[in-house]
Amino acid sequence: MIGFEIHTRKRAVSAAVVEQFRRIPVANISDCMSRMTAGGARLRPMHDGTVLAGPALTVRCRPGDNLMVHKALDLAVPGDVIVVDAGGDLTNAIIGEIMTTYAASRGIAGIVINGAIRDAGTIRRNPFPVYAAGITHRGPYKDGPGEINCTIALDGMTIEPGDLIVGDEDGLLCVPYDQTDALYQAASAKHAAEEQTMAQIAAGKLDTSWVDARLKAQGCVMPSQG
């Protein structure tokens, strides 16, 4: 039935790729994607801030219904990130303490909910990564429909099953499966350059002459010197 189906994930980023990206800030990766990709500013870390990284197991469910999320918890393999498009609706929570505890016990790397969670206090005190758009005490329904391992989009960020999901305190990002190698090289170089900048600041040697050069190139009228 269209809209009520479990698909097979055909590929997923490797554990080695996941570990490489875990060490790079999401902002650096985002800069290397032309700052054009994001999971939406509403999706915030609800846990203690532990970094999230892993291949996506995608879920699309009806707003307020978590039947397919329960199935995804059983289908996921250790290291997976369950990414749920629940329509962004905040009326009913999709997951809470019981489901996150079960997910952690199975070695799942984290859960992303484009929707609401509950039991926020417990989740906030724990390292298991949970990203969501909001919080409500109202629980979910369990009737379906929904899909697992389908293409989803969160605020314009397209996610295919097996793509790399990374998240830190700045938010979430999806790195397409076929672009991980090139993006890792670019993001690593970006991160190294920023660490060099921080060292220059600490040494009092930061060169900011580029600011005036950019203003001049943009035609800004500057005060006369002298």
Query: Which residues participate in the annotated binding site for substrate?
Result: 96-99, 118
- Residues marked as binding? 96-99, 118-119
Residue in the structure block whose two tokens are 């532990």: 50
Indicate the pairing of strand 171-175 with strand 164-168.
antiparallel
- Name the DSSP letter for residue 177: G
CA dihedral sign of residues 17, 167, 179, 108: positive
Question: What token pair was written down for 48?
Answer: 């203690």
Quickly list H helices, the chain. Answer: 15-22, 26-31, 67-75, 97-105, 120-124, 180-202, 209-217
- Residues marked as binding for Mg(2+)? 119
CA distance 71 to 144: 11
